[in-house]
């Protein structure tokens, strides 16, 4: 990898993305859909190729050299993620299929913990992944789903949030950064309010981990989720961070290999964390690629990355607001680099 950290050299960084070396419609490719998924730098692609060419094997279930190498690489990524999020223990990082998989894991586990009279609170600013699993949980448990409303600038109505959080609230779920409006939500404040009534807090960090420094212990959240593909890593892999006491309390999500300690015809016992929640053969090459992506982000530096994004954001906002008839959605002061806009009477497809 070239020296990218000494200076934020956009051309050098761009050159590291093979996909950006093509032209589309006769022009150099410009890709702006990073909130949906990011492109992958060469080092991530090479890590996956290297895994398949040299180390491919299953993890945690072979004593041979290849299995040992694959397991070491697989677990090394977990360590990088733990350090990146400042989780207290490596076993608090559970590999999932992504943010959607992580939220479903928690929502499913809460079916046995909630009942009629309990309340689940989410915001109106959520991705479907952080909404539909809670609707399903409410249907299965009889708990009531409530919503924190949004103000016109795209921020959450915090007065209303404070009013809605009450002793019946058992779980509060909201995003760190909204994919639709870019709003950066006050995670610590909402978490403190929820904890004051004994509620559990899950933060959807699909955009948060990619665009901000995250310290799960400083924030105090009980669960934090992320999708690797939003931060230069492969699709099909993500994480659930959970405090040990909550991960111990939740039942396993799926049964199968890897998540068991003992199995008889009559009964099974479950493996310790994190494996209790990692049934079946995982997406090993994606985890290996994620490790390379974490190295990439570390080399760039989160601070340099955030500073560059905020520069682009200011420039983009200025350029767009100069266009007659254009309306920007999401205008909070603390906003990540997402620009949503519309024109009166013009459909986005046009």
The residues that touch ligand PLP, with contacts defined as CB under 6 A, are: 35-36, 98-100, 127, 129-130, 175, 179, 204, 206-207, 227
Instruction: Of 180, 202, 292, 183, give the one whose Cα is nearest residue 247.
Output: 202
Torsional sign, CA 195, 199, 200, 202: negative
Give the nearer residue to ligand PLP in terms of CB position, either 71 or 178.
178
Give the nearer residue to ligand PLP in terms of CB position, either 186 or 257.
186
Give the nearer residue to ligand PLP in terms of CB position, either 4 or 102.
102
In angstroms, what is the minimal distance from the CB of 130 to ligand PLP? 6
In angstroms, what is the minimal distance from the CB of 285 to ligand PLP? 17
State the Cα–Cα distance between residues 190 and 2, nearest whole angstrom: 41
In angstroms, what is the minimal distance from the CB of 271 to ligand PLP? 24
Give the nearer residue to ligand PLP in terms of CB position, either 71 or 130.
130
Asked whether 336 and 314 are in contact (CB, 8 A), the reply is: no
The CB-side HSE value for 71 (13 A sphere, CA atoms) comes to 12
In angstroms, what is the minimal distance from the CB of 110 to ligand PLP? 18
In angstroms, what is the minimal distance from the CB of 120 to ligand PLP? 17
Give the nearer residue to ligand PLP in terms of CB position, either 129 or 191.
129
Torsional sign, CA 17, 336, 124, 194: positive
Place of tokens 């993890």: 59
State the Cα–Cα distance between residues 92 and 83, nearest whole angstrom: 11
State the Cα–Cα distance between residues 106 and 200, nearest whole angstrom: 11
In angstroms, what is the minimal distance from the CB of 109 to ligand PLP? 17
Give the nearer residue to ligand PLP in terms of CB position, either 155 or 207.
207
β-strands 169-175, 119-123 pairing: parallel
């Amino acid at each position: 990898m070239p020296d990218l950290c000494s200076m934020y050299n956009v051309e050098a960084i761009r050159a590291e993305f093979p996909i950006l070396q093509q032209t589309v419609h006769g022009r150099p490719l410009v890709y702006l859909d990073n909130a949906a998924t990011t492109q992958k730098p060469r080092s991530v692609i090479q890590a996956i190729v290297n895994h398949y060419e040299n180390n491919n094997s299953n993890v945690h279930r072979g004593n041979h050299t290849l299995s040992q190498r694959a397991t070491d690489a697989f677990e090394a990524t977990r360590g990088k993620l733990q350090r990146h999020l400042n989780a207290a223990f490596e076993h608090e990082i559970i590999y999932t299929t992504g943010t959607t998989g992580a939220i479903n894991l928690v929502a499913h586990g809460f079916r046995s913990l909630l009942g009629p009279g309990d309340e689940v609170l989410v915001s109106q600013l959520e991705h479907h992944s952080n909404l539909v699993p809670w609707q399903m949980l409410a249907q299965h448990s009889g708990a009531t789903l409530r919503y924190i409303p949004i103000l016109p600038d795209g921020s959450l109505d915090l007065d209303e949030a404070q009013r809605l959080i009450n002793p019946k609230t058992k779980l509060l779920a909201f995003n760190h950064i909204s994919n639709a409006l870019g709003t950066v939500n006050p995670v610590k404040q909402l978490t403190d309010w929820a904890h004051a009534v004994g509620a559990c807090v899950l933060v959807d960090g699909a955009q948060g981990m990619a665009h901000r420094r995250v310290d799960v212990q400083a924030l105090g959240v009980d669960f934090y989720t992320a999708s690797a593909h939003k931060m230069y890593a492969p699709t099909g892999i993500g994480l659930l961070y959970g405090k040990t006491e909550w991960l111990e309390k939740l039942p396993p999500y799926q049964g199968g290999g890897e998540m068991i300690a003992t199995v008889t015809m009559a009964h099974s016992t479950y493996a310790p964390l994190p494996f209790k929640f990692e049934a079946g053969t995982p997406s090993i090459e994606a985890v290996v690629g994620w490790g390379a992506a974490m190295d990439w982000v570390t080399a760039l530096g989160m601070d340099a990355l955030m500073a560059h994004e905020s520069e682009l954001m200011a420039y983009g906002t200025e350029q767009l607001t100069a266009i007659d008839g254009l309306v920007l959605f999401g205008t909070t002061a603390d906003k990540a680099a997402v620009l949503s806009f519309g024109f009166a009477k013009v459909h986005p497809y046009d």
